[in-house]
Chains A and B, each alone.
Chain A
Amino acid sequence: METGLDKHAQLHTEGRLRRSVPLRVQRRRLFYILVSPWVFGFLAFVLGPMVYSGYISFTRWNLLNPPQFIGLGNYSQMMQDPLFWQSLKVTTIYAVVSVPLTSAFALFLAILLNQRVRGVSIFRTIFYLPSVVSGVAVSMVFLWVFNPQFGIINSMLHDFGIKGPGWVESPHWALPTIIIMSLWGVGSPMLIFLAGLQGIPPDLMEAASLDGAGVWRKFVSVTIPLLTPTILFNVILSIINQFQVFTQAYVMTQGGPLDSTLFLVYYIFENAFQYLNMGYGAALAWVLFFIVFILTVIVFATSGKWVFYQGGD
């Protein structure tokens, strides 16, 4: 394959030197060859499975017997399934709270890190560190940190004379606990905000200063508008990620107590891989996809009103 490609490339080089029409053809062919793995992957792992999962969602299927077509059965079951509505509620609350919260916190950290203070790279490392480590170990650690009886949080609260809540043991506190945990992992959006901040031309800030703008005024009328494309990028990534929360529910609460942390993806997993209810799981997954899709479209559609592009790229 390599020699073949090299030959193409050589042809293209020769073509470049002599004739221009075959050159374009060669480069075109090269493009298709190079992107073909992605095209295959897209068809095999994305589009194909999507079509397939659409079909599965209209069937009753436990893997053991062939799928049995039941039309909209799974979707109408969903309408009457209190656990589906509960999972939708939990996931929505989580996303609605944690998307703005994590974005604001990430922006706040990025602004701090953008100050010219000594040792800023150490702080950058510390703030980024938590987002490198994720998965089961982190959930375990938080389970232990938030242990109502023996955890460090309630122990510290106790020092201040406060009786800490039951955290993941309480139906009222379990979801807030997982939201608090999400604040810990804001490293990636923070870095992206930092990049955005560093892309703001210093002369704009100086001009604003000369006009007599204070720190807050500069922040509101220069920094924020220039940062809106980055905010858009982060908010969309954040929506996509927060709707897929799973590991925390699996490791820390198993969806409980009283289904207060029954996230949609956890419910999908439970149906598909614990109850072998593949059809219902697929239908739930489509609902999740639909929600994420609609939200993304809404954010994009309104972005024209609030996102400010500098000059154009």
Chain B
Amino acid sequence: MTMSFKRALSFTGISIVMAGSLTAMTVPYVAAAAPVTLTISTWDSGAGLKPYQEAIKEFEKLHPGIKVNLQSIQSQYYLPKVLTEMANGSAPDLMLVGDSNVSEFVNSGLLQNLSPLFAHHTDGLNSKYFYPSVLKMGNINGHQYFVPKDWSDEAVLYNKTMFQKAHVPYPKAGWTLNQFVKDAAALTIAKSGHVQQYGAELPGTWLRAGLEYWVSAYGGNILDKGGHSVSGALNSAKTEKAIESFIDVYRSHPNLSPSPQAMNSTFQNLDLFLTKRIAMTMTGPWNVNEYKQAGIKFGVAPMPIGPVGKPMTQMFWAGFAVYKNSSHVQQADELLAFFASQKWAKIDWQWAMPALKGPGVRLMEKNNPMIKEFFNAASVANPITPLGTLNWGKDVQPVLQNMIESGVENPKANVKSLIASAVSQIDTNLKQDDPQK
């Protein structure tokens, strides 16, 4: 149930290598003003915290009057925990927000509108340095609510050794979804019902950016345009066709991918690509470094072309926002400006793709060629559908998860009627959420 939320959230990062010993933070010389302590919260952890630690070190050097306290919250509970902290007055001043939770924060009026800041900030915070499509994602109802931290999209990572053994040629740009399924089937090895090697890892119940790329490859949509409801989108003919084809891959090739149920229980968060049990995975860039370090021989190929004729890739992101009732808004804005500067991009390029044009991106392209495939795909990637008033994690996600699991579990179930009952269930949920509607 939490799997896809988690994966969508943990985009920033995060291959996990060693938690390592925290770099001892040098206590900066404190200037005349009393030092202010800012708290910044993130769902990153482990090695994913390293860029933050470096950034904080540098920021504290530049601003001797400000100390920064980093708070890492388990991604699964990020939204409720931060909301609860706001309720009991211990909220972070600056927080990471992502595509699955930003609307919830904005709708509850908890984030500072950053538009005036972009207009007036003297140093650093300038919209023209950003990739416009990335910056636009933080723009909700005409106001800018966060500064993009970095962004991501999908590509196919494939295990070269397994391809060679199966005599399957490596995937190339321009390959199709049919080819992908055919290759994956050829790469699957199962003996007497026991899978030794999965051909590919399908998104399962990873919905945001996962199932969504599959659906958009058919020209469909999970949510309506404003992100207020699913009816009309989820049950449109194109989306129905997409979901049917998605479930059909599981049905006609039961051993090709671990089932959604398996990914949510026995394999939860077990990285089958890292443990060399899977030949291909369609995923973001965050694990590339970890796979390299683990010595896996792999390549990166663009996502296959879907029926609509575009690569099935989806762009998603996370960004930093300022808590409206923070008692140190001014200092928080300074920290925000730091994250909107090349100083941050030069730190972060090793982990993700910078939202800022310039030196950070060049560093990444030069030193991390594997990531380049992801970068190239950005020009064709569909931005993820924004969530409007939807409470995704509560009202939508569990229902869609059940829809997918039922479809895979019961091969005879009619997918269209599964979709229809999901739509009506979600509508009921939305009504219960807001009885006035």
Contacts and interface: CB of A to CB of B under 8 A. Distances in A.
Query: Is A in direct contact with B (CB under 8 Å) within the complex?
Result: yes
Interface of A: 62-64, 73, 77, 80, 82, 143, 146-149, 151, 158, 163, 166-171, 174, 252-259, 273-277
A63 B266 contact: no
Contacts of B1: 254-256
B338 to A, nearest CB: 29
A275 B397 CA distance: 12
B265 interface: yes
B405 A147 contact: no
Contacts of B425: 82
B194 A169 contact: no
Contacts, number: 87
B84 A276 contact: yes
B265 A169 contact: yes
Contacts of B406: 258
The majority secondary structure among interface residues of chain A is loop
A141 to B, nearest CB: 13
Nearest to B87: A63
A256 B261 contact: yes
B259 interface: yes
Given A63-B83, A64-B108, A273-B80, A257 B265 contact: yes
Interface string B392-429: 01100000011001100100000000000000010010
A256 B264 contact: yes
A252 B77 CA distance: 17
Contacts of B84: 63, 273, 276
A255 B265 CA distance: 10
A252 B262 CA distance: 11
Contacts of B393: 274-275
B2 A64 contact: no
B128 to A, nearest CB: 36
21 contacts: A62-B83, A63-B84, A63-B87, A73-B435, A143-B265, A148-B262, A148-B266, A149-B195, A163-B193, A168-B266, A253-B264, A254-B265, A256-B261, A256-B401, A257-B264, A257-B409, A258-B261, A258-B405, A259-B402, A274-B393, A277-B394
Given A149-B266, A274-B80, 10 more contacts: A148-B262, A148-B266, A168-B266, A169-B265, A254-B2, A256-B1, A257-B409, A258-B406, A273-B77, A273-B84
Contacts of A80: 428
A82 B424 CA distance: 13
Nearest to A148: B266
Interface string B375-398: 000000000000000010110000
A211 B184 CA distance: 75
A208 to B, nearest CB: 51
B327 to A, nearest CB: 18
A170 B265 CA distance: 10
Among B192, B268, B391, chain A packs the most CB atoms within 10 A around the CB of B268
Contacts of B87: 62-64
Nearest to A172: B409
Nearest to B109: A64
A215 B405 CA distance: 52
B329 interface: no
Nearest to A77: B432
Interface string B76-96: 010010011011100000000
Nearest to A163: B193
Given A275-B394, A276-B80, A169 B193 contact: no
A256 B262 CA distance: 10
A170 B261 contact: yes
Contacts of A166: 261-262
A258 B193 contact: no
B194 A158 contact: yes
A62 B3 CA distance: 24
Nearest to B264: A256
Contacts of B262: 148-149, 166, 169
Contacts of B192: 163
Contacts of B108: 64
A-B pairs with the 10 shortest C-beta distances?
A257-B261, A63-B87, A275-B394, A168-B265, A254-B1, A169-B261, A169-B262, A147-B266, A64-B87, A253-B265
A259 B402 CA distance: 8
Contacts of A149: 194-195, 262, 266
B103 to A, nearest CB: 15
Contacts of B402: 258-259
B75 to A, nearest CB: 12
A241 B393 CA distance: 30
Contacts of A252: 265
Contacts of A273: 77, 80, 84
A256 B405 contact: yes
A64 B80 CA distance: 11
B307 to A, nearest CB: 29
A275 B195 CA distance: 37
